[in-house]
Structure formats: C-alpha cells, structure tokens
Structure 1
Amino acid sequence: MSPVTVPAIINLDVPGPVISRHLYGHFAEHLGRCVYDGFYVGEDSDLPNEGGIRLDVVEALRALNIPNLRWPGGCFADEYHWMDGIGPKESRPAMVNTHWGNVEENNHFGTHEFMALCELLGAEPYISGNVGSGTVREMSDWVEYLTREGDSPMVRLRKANGREEPWRVRFWGLGNEAWGCGGNMKAEQYAAEARRFGTYCRDHGDNKLYRIAAGANSADYAWTETLMKQLGELGCAYRPASFMQALSFHYYTIPGTWQDKGSATEFGVDDHYRTMAQAARVDELITGHSNVMDCYDPGKNVGLVLDEWGTWWNVEPGTNPGFLYQQNSLRDALVASLHFDVFHRHADRLVMANIAQTVNVLQAMILTDPDSGALVLTPTYHVFEMNKGHQDAASLRVDLPDGLPARQVDGTELRTVSLSASRKNGQVLISLSNLDAGEAADVELDLRGGAVAIARARILTAGDLRTHNTPDAPEAVAPRPHEQVTATPSGLRVHLPAHSFVTVEASLT
C-alpha cells in the first residue's frame, strides 16, 4: 500500500510566539530511586560523583539543555520540611516518606545538594513549597534562606552552612495537588491559602519570584476559574495581583484503569492507539484551561504550567509498587513527541511543562541499574535531545489544507500524523511523528517565505513499538540518520515510516 500523502504549509517568514525553553522542564521527586540511587549516590559511592551527585547522570542531562528541575515533589513536597535537610548530614533528622513506599529518608539530599545539582546541570531550580502540612513562615524563611543577601537570620544560617552568596531561585510552587495529596482542599479553600502563602514569599533584592499556584487535576476547569477570580476581575482591564504569576495543572496518559494501568512493554496495537488517543487529549485540556484564563486575562499575563505529565504504567514486576519504576518503549517516545507538538501550538499561554520524572520513575529520561550501576538512556530521552532546538525558538504555524490522516479509537478521532516547526538564529527545526502502528506517511512540506538547505535529518524508530533500551541493548531505540528527506520545487518531502519520530534541521538560505 502506498503511503498516505499529507500536504503541509509553513510560512518561514511569519514567526509566532516563542517556545519557552521551560516547556522542556523536568521533575525530581523523593520517590523510589529518582533522587537516591538516581541523581544522588553519596560521596562514598564507587560511581564518579561530585558531592554525592552522580556525574554520568549530570552529563547525560546537560546534553538535553535541561532548562529547569522541579523538586522535592510532587506529593512529597507537602510533607517535606526543608530545615530537616540542611546542616551536617549526620545531624539531619530522618523522616518517613508516607506517600511513596513508606520508606525512611535520611535527608542527606536537601537544599544545598539540590542547588549544587542545578548548578552542575545548568538548570534553573523550581522549588515546590509545603502548603499542605507546612506554615507560611516556613516557606517564607526558605525563600529568604536561598535568595537574600546582606544580613538576616536566614542569611546567617545559610552562611553557617557553608554558602556565602545567595542563589537565584525564580520558580516557586505554592504547594502541589492541593485537591488531593496536598491537603484535600476545596478550590476556594486553596485559593485563600495561595493568596496567603504567595504574599509572604518575598522578593529579596533582584531575585523576582515567579509564584506558581497548585492548579487543577486534568479537566477541572472550575478550579482554574476559582484561581483566576482570586487574581483579578473579569474583562479586558485585568491586572493580576502580585502574589501569583502562574497556575498549574497535571495530566497523565493512562489508557487503562487506575487500578490496572497496563504494561510498559507488553501491549498490543489497540493498546497503542488508546495510549495515543489519551496523550492527544492534552491539547483539549490546555485549550480548555487557556479558554478559562482568557476570559479573565485576555492579555495572557498569567502563565499556564503543566508541571506533571507523562505516561503512567504498572510498575515493573518484582519492584516496589510505591517506587513507580517502569520501562520506557518507543510508544513512550511517541507520547512525548506528540505532547511537544501540542506544547508548541500553545506557546502563547503555556510557559512551562515538567515531565514526570527524570530518573527511574514513571516516564524517565534515564534508568540506572541498581546492581551493575549501568546507565540507560530511554527512547523518551532521545525525543528531548532531538527536539532541543525548539527551546526559545519562534514557533512557525503549520497549515494543513487536507487535514491529517485519522482513525477512530473508542469513539474518538485520533490524528495519526503530528508535526510542529520553529526558527531561531537562521535555523529551522521541523518535528514530525507518525503514530500509526502499521502505515507509513509522506509529508509534503510547502515552505514559503524562504528557502532552506537541509543540515541534518534523524529518525527514532524500531521494528516493534514495544522495543526499549536495556543495559544489554542500550541503543535498541536511538536516533539514526534519516535519508528519506528529499527536496521538492516547493520545499521538502519527508517520509515517515510507521511508528516513527523524525526531525529535520535546516538552514535558511
């Protein structure tokens, strides 16, 4: 059967909203082996480390131009008391992680270790404060400890713990999932708490805080409206209050039930399509929350943040169910590539997104073997790397005169080809995904307002959607040169094999 042909028009000389690099953000919670045995192995480890931070993990993430890292949670954030994680390690009190595995934590990875990790990564810290079980003073003191210079009680404490100069920490989360593990609050109750906590999280010196309110679960648009009402009045004269600069929401791709989410590696074609349909729903959700925000904030002064997203499968057999360790196949990579195309289309409102999570948890970039110490880059990692040229680039609108090929999945339409494009510094990056499990597609790109010379085309695919990387086969799914990109009189023709992700990098001529 001949591949379906998909015409697409891109006006290279009409740049759209800038795609914030923070849409490629990450998330590290005290959960399973993400922090301990992932990022942090301790100074006595045989693995190369700096202050206990595992250096091969750092090196791999630096190759992604990782823009920010969210910490310490997640649900863990609202039971974490930061004072327990500073000072000499031997003096730090232990705690029980009641959310994830009911294990005891020694607090050896705390504020100073996290900030050292961010400095090694070249990433901005995004700290989630404790609203659920903490106090306003506790979070206010944390902001002061990290960001204030000169002299004050918290400054003196920081200096006593070995850090003379303040850090720059812009991003602060006002709790996490306040509708659930962050306090089981009603929207109105949390909105009042967010006003209070946000008020006392102060700007110190030239460190201007970007306060992110804990927003909705999936399609809870009423929660978003409640928060927007707290910030200002309905209409064009909307001037946001100073205690909150953005609000978040969370959405996970779970094609099964909450009790049986499905296997990361053992699935059929129907499972694949259900997964893609659930992933594609993120477009509907971002649109819905954005529409609510537009009613109150037509000038788009308030940011929307999707600070937890990704696939969620059953844990791998034989692992702690509270550690959320799952494998990562080519199917996960296509979920990621589809999400990024959606994010790029919403760059005018969506200012940050954080995949859950970076190492050894859920849809991870990196898996580390606890026995051999081997490090494995997942298929999802490679999507981030192939797409990094979109960071801080101007989005380019993609018009589709004939629409996109689609199939029906449980009564909903799934478009099986996805693409997005951007330009920056004379370079164009076009990302294309074929979500179809068995049929190829040819995308005919009509490039207007400029000409391009192909610099590099790469493809991420495998013979089977279930293919994944392991210590024994670390490059079973890895980028390879893609030769099936050809010049046409109007632009480029890109061949997309079944279940593949392709990027085309080109220079404007």
Structure 2
Amino acid sequence: MIKRTILAISVTTALAVCGSAFAQVAVTIDTAKPGPVIDKNVYGQFAEHLGTGIYEGMWVGPNSKIPNTKGWRNDVVGALKELRVPLVRWPGGCFADEYHWKDGIGPRNKRPVKVNTNWGNVTEDNAVGTHEFFDLAELLGSQVYINGNLGTGSVQEMSEWIEYMTSPSKSTLAEMRRKNGRDKPWKVDFFAVGNEMWGCGGNMNPEHYANLYKNTTTFIRAPQEYKPKIIASGGHTDDVKWADVLTREVKNDMAGVSFHYYTIPTGKWEVKGAATGFPESQWFSTMQNTLRMDKFIRDNKAVMDKNDPEKKVGLFVDEWGTWYDVEPGTNAGFLYQQNSLRDAVVAALNFNIFHEHADRVRMTNIAQMVNVLQAMILTDKTRMVLTPTYHAYKMYVPFQDATSLPVALENNTTYSAGSQSVPQVSASAARAKDGKVYLALVNTDPNKATEVTVNVGAAAAAKFTGQVLTAAKMDAHNTFDAPNAVKPASYSAQAAGGKLTVQLPAKSVIVGAVE
C-alpha cells in the first residue's frame, strides 16, 4: 500500500528558484514492495437522469443536427473515450429508485412520459433506456454498472430486468429484447440493489435493508458468463453501520458495499459555496473537507476487515466529488455548476487516497459525467468544453490497473489557515501496465510552490517526464468562449548532481513517468 506521512514541521532549508522560495520535500518510491493493483474502475463515471447530464448533454437523438451515433453526441463520446472510461453507472442515483425499466424499452415514441420528482420535476420521456445505455457503453468501450430499483420497484422487477438483459434463451423476456433490436445478451458487469437506502431510496436502517438485499439477490439469476457482480447500498460520510451490518449479515452475492461522500466547501448543505469567485478560505476548507475521505475509508475498512478479513468485499465509492451552489439562473434541481482548477486538485487528492486503499477501494464513480456537479464536460447546445477535472482524469490514465507502490514523504510542509492546516504535498506512485513507474504529485497550497526530490529506492531517479496542470487564479476555469484557459502543459526534469528535483507550482497537479 501507498504510505503517506503527514508531517507538520518547519522548513529549515529554502532555495531561491525562479524568484520564488521553495521548500524541499523528499519522495521515496519503494519499487521492491509492490502493493495491490489499482483497479481501473477506480476511474469510473456516473450518468444519472438529472438535469442535462444525459438529455442534451450526451443524448440528442438520432435525428438531431448535432453529429451523433445512435443518438449519442460524437463530440462528447469522443472526448470521453480519451479518458478510457472503464465503467459507467446508470440510471441513478436517487432516480434509480423511481425508475421502471419497462418504461424505457420499445419504440421511443410510445414510451410513457413521467415526471422526474427527484430532480427538477421535469418530464422524463424515457428516450434513454436499457438499449440506449448499452449503446453508449459500447461506444465508450466501458463496463456497465446498473442500479436496480428497490425503493418503488420489486424483487420481480429486478429479476425480470436481469433476465431481459442477460438471457440467451427463448423466454418471453429474451424474445422481447430481440424484438427491440438486440439479439445477443448483454454482459451486465455490476448490478446494485437500490441506492442510498438510508435516504432517498427508502429511509430504512441497515438491518432491514440487509434482509431485503438477501431476498432480492436470491432471485437475481443469470447465466454464469453474463452474471453481474452485485453491489449493496451502503453508508455515507462518517456512518460505518452499513458496512458493518452488511459484511456481517450478508455472506454471499456481494461484490461490494457502496459509499457516498461529497466535498462541500462550507460543510453546510443549505449554503454550500460558489463554484467560482470564492475566497481563499473556501479553497482551504475544500481541501480540508475532501481529505476527510481518507478517514472515512479507513473507518469503513476497519469494520470490513473485522467481518471480512479475506477482503472479498470491496468498498465502492460510487458517488463522490464537489458539490457547490448551482450556477445563478439555472434550475436548482439540475445541479449545474462550473468546474475550476480547484476541482482538478480535489480530484487528484482523491485519486491518491483511492490508490492508497486499493486493497478495498475497487471502484469509484464521480458525480457526474456531463453537466452535473463535478463534471468532465460542459455543453451548451452545439458547443462543448472540457473541464479541469477532465484533464486530471486524463493525466491519471496510466494508473488504471497499475500496481501501487509504497511512497514515503519526508519534510512535507503544510498549507495553513489560522490554527488549522493540511499537508501541502500529496503523492502516489505505481508501476503501470507499460512497465514504467508513474508518480503523481499535488500541491494544495494556492500561494506557495515547492520542490520535491524524487528517489526510487535508495537511488535518485534520473528523469521525470509528464504533464503539469495549474493556473494563475484559484478559480481559473474553461468557458465556451475560452475553452483552453486551464489545460495541462508538458513537464520534464533531469537529475543534476545526483538528485532529481521536480518543481511543484502552487495549486497544481503533476503526473509523469520516473526513470
């Protein structure tokens, strides 16, 4: 596992580099003790029927003048393919527990029109259903994670959905799938029994849900080659009861327990803070609050390790990301927010945390893919813009299915606000599938750069080649008129005097290969 040492110490040595004062932090990568593989699904995505996250943002329909394939925007799909999206979760979220799958099959002009009571009370015409979602997954080359409806659905409904999707037989449901255009069964990689059962999924306690889960999974049957891995709906924030009860009470048919945590600058749901134009105090609180993810994962792992010492069950962080006040003038139920350099730093900090816990964290799904919360992409009719978070995901692509390597930080400085502080530098390393060692570095301080010396084992590394993501302002962001205000730049460093030094700018993310 990756070891992060958090030290609050004074810097006794400073160097003048390019007119700025730098403090040296030492990073040592131990290639002799490889840790668990960082599952590619740690970089999973989430697409809910929420606002313009699917409709308009990705789905325009096959008759749209916007170039599309099977109704899905070519520009958005093309950009997402660059991220090598490993997995997409659908159709929710809270929406999942009001979604009835039979509403989303057959001719689109004959599908029932409903009201999305969770998100904006807008009409839902069910244009995107099971077949359309699998089209998207196939276009992206991604696995699928389907969230079943336990809240307003039934065991029978979920059982029949699985049969419809996965049966190679001549059953009525399999023939219905063929009539609707799909001959061969689909591979459903993951299937969840409900969502946020402590809240919008039914307001129940974990003991009651554990019994419902066991009842449901008894009837989720599929041929072995198409059988999904089943996910249980777990807890959120500092609530570990769900992981505890589920790993004690459910012994079979559970690949993972879900977990949700959103980073809110103010820590208050009523007034969360703005996505741009925020004061430095909210930059600091955002860093502080997002780093809580590490403790929440550790606390859940502790109860899971007690109940499941063989680590058969994963902790799936299938909703996470920043949550701000919606952009002025937009529908409050659409959760549309701008995305700045701050979000890229938050994403990278969480990636490093997930890598550290790769023994249990085998899937995460950021909320959400397009136009909702911490999105990869924002759209406006025919236009599209990539966000800083998108660039962070692309920079971290080499970590998908890489083998984690222990990292030791020495002389790590702190970024402080009053009496409180967070570590200035976060680091993670892994040996990627191409055989190279990759190092990710994050500087949480929006004002001060630092120097990081890099060692591989007892020897200094020779060179570092990669990319750096930073900007002049804390809230720097891309717009439709200025789409490249925040984007990665090439970065390289060569060892000098037997020492490899990486200059880490203020408020930055750097990812590269170490040789």
Count of residues in correspondence between the two structures: 494
Instruction: After superposition, give the CA deviation of every residue in 1:85-120 in whole Å (9 maximum; x if it has no partner).
Output: 000111111111000000011101100000000000
Cα distance in 2 between the residues matched to 1:310 and 1:159 = 38
Give the superposition deviation at 1:131.
0.5
Q: What aligned pairs does 1:2-13 form with structure 2 within 5 A after superposition?
A: 2-13=21-32
Q: 2:202 aligns with which of 177, 183, 187?
A: 183
| 2:383 counterpart residue number | 374
Paired letter, 1:78? D
Counterpart selection for 2:179 from 160, 165, 169: 160
2:260 alignment partner in structure 1: 250
The equivalent residue for 1:109 is 128
Q: Distance in 1 between matches of 2:159 and 2:461?
A: 51
Alignment deviations for residues 301-322 of structure 1 (CA, whole Å, 9 cap, x no partner): 1111000000000000000000
How many angstroms apart in 1 are the aligned matches of 2:419 and 2:296? 18
Q: CA deviation at 1:81?
A: 0.1
In 1, Cα distance between the equivalents of 2:471 and 2:208?
49
Please show how residues 145-156 of structure 1 align to structure 2 within 5 Å: 145-156=164-175
Does residue 290 of structure 1 match 2:301? Answer: yes
1:150 CA drift (Å): 2.2
Q: Check the 8 A contact 2:26/2:409 in 1, yes or no.
A: yes
**Which string of whole-angstrom CA distances, capped at 9 and with x for unpartnered residues, describes residues 18-61 of structure 1?**
00000000000000000100110111211110111111111101
> Hey, what does 2:397 align to over in structure 1?
388
State the partner residue of 1:505.
Answer: 513
Corresponding residue for residue 23 of structure 1: 42
Alignment of 1:124 with 2:143, yes or no, is: yes
Change (3 A) 1:453 1:198: farther
Partner Cα separation in structure 2 for residue 487 and residue 406 of structure 1: 26
Matched, 1:339 2:331: no
Return the alpha-carbon distance in structure 1 between the equivalents of residues 464 and 235 of structure 2: 42
> For structure 1, which segment, 154-163 or 62-71, has the greater mean C-alpha deviation from structure 2 after superposition?
154-163
Are 1:316 and 2:327 an aligned pair? yes
Q: What are the residue-to-residue correspondences of 1:20-419 with 2, within 5 Å? A: 20-231=39-250, 241-256=251-266, 257-370=268-381, 373-402=382-411, 404-409=412-417, 412-419=420-427
Q: For the Cα contact (< 8 Å) 1:78–1:129, is it kept in 2?
A: yes
Unaligned runs of 5+ in 2: 1-19
Which deviates the most, 147-156 or 389-398?
A: 147-156
Residues 300 and 488 of structure 1, relative CA distance in 2, 3 Å threshold: farther
Letter in 2 for 1:245: A
Q: Which moved more, 1:144-153 or 1:326-335?
A: 144-153
Q: What is the SS of the residue equivalent to 2:296?
A: helix
Q: CA contact under 8 A between 1:419 and 1:431: conserved in structure 2?
A: yes
In structure 2, C-alpha distance between the alignment counterparts of 1:455 and 1:251, rounded to whole Å: 34
Given the two structures, how large is their TM-score scaled by the length of structure 2? 0.93
Distance 2:341 2:95 in 1: 30
Q: Per the alignment, in what secondary structure is the counterpart of residue 319 of structure 2?
A: strand
CA distance in 2, matches of 1:252, 1:198: 29
TM superposition shift of 1:506? 3.7
Q: Is the 8 A contact 2:460 2:500 kept in 1?
A: no
> Structure 2: which amino acid aligns with 1:464?
K
8 A Cα contact 2:463 2:494, kept in partner: no
The answer to whether the Cα contact below 8 Å between 1:366 and 1:381 also exists between their aligned partners in 2 is: yes
Please state if 1:420 is matched with 2:408: no
- State how far apart, in whole Å, the 1-side matches of 2:176 and 2:216 are: 22
Query: Which moved further from structure 2: 76-85 or 424-433?
Result: 424-433
Classify the secondary structure of the residue corresponding to 2:396. helix
Is 1:480 matched up with 2:489?
Answer: yes
SS at 1:354 equivalent: strand
Gaps of 5+ in 1: 232-240
TM-score, with normalisation over the residues of structure 1?
Answer: 0.94
Quickly say closer, same or farther: Cα 1:187–1:11, change in 2 above 3 A. same
Contact in 1 for aligned 2:464/2:494 (Cα 8 Å) = no
**Higher mean displacement: 324-333 or 180-189:** 180-189
More moved, 241-250 vs 432-441: 241-250
1:146 and 1:112 mapped to 2: Cα distance?
A: 9
Show CA shifts across 1:235-290 (max 9, x none).
xxxxxx32222101100001222111110001111110000000000000010101
Preserved contact between residue 26 and residue 356 of structure 1 (Cα < 8 Å) = yes
Q: Quick check: 1:365–1:380 contact (8 Å CA) kept in 2? A: yes
Q: Which amino acid aligns with 2:510?
A: V
Task: Give the aligned residue type for 2:356.
Answer: R
Distance 1:353 1:83 in 2: 28
Give 1:248's aligned amino acid: S
Name the aligned partner's letter for residue 424 of structure 2.
Answer: T
Cα distance in 1 between the residues matched to 2:321 and 2:307: 29
Secondary structure of residue in 2 paired with 1:350: coil
Question: 1 CA distance for matches of 2:497 and 2:304?
Answer: 43
Is the 1:252–1:310 contact (alpha carbons within 8 Å) kept by the matching residues of 2?
yes
On the 8 A contact 1:149/1:205 being kept in 2, the answer is no
Q: CA deviation at 1:409?
A: 4.8
> What is the aligned partner in structure 1 of residue 13 from structure 2?
none
Q: CA deviation at 1:454?
A: 4.2
CA distance in 2, matches of 1:97, 1:108: 13
CA-CA distance at 1:449 after TM superposition? 6.8
CA distance in 2, matches of 1:450, 1:163: 56
Instruction: Give the Cα–Cα distance (whole angstroms) in 2 for the partners of residues 160 and 381 of structure 1.
Output: 38
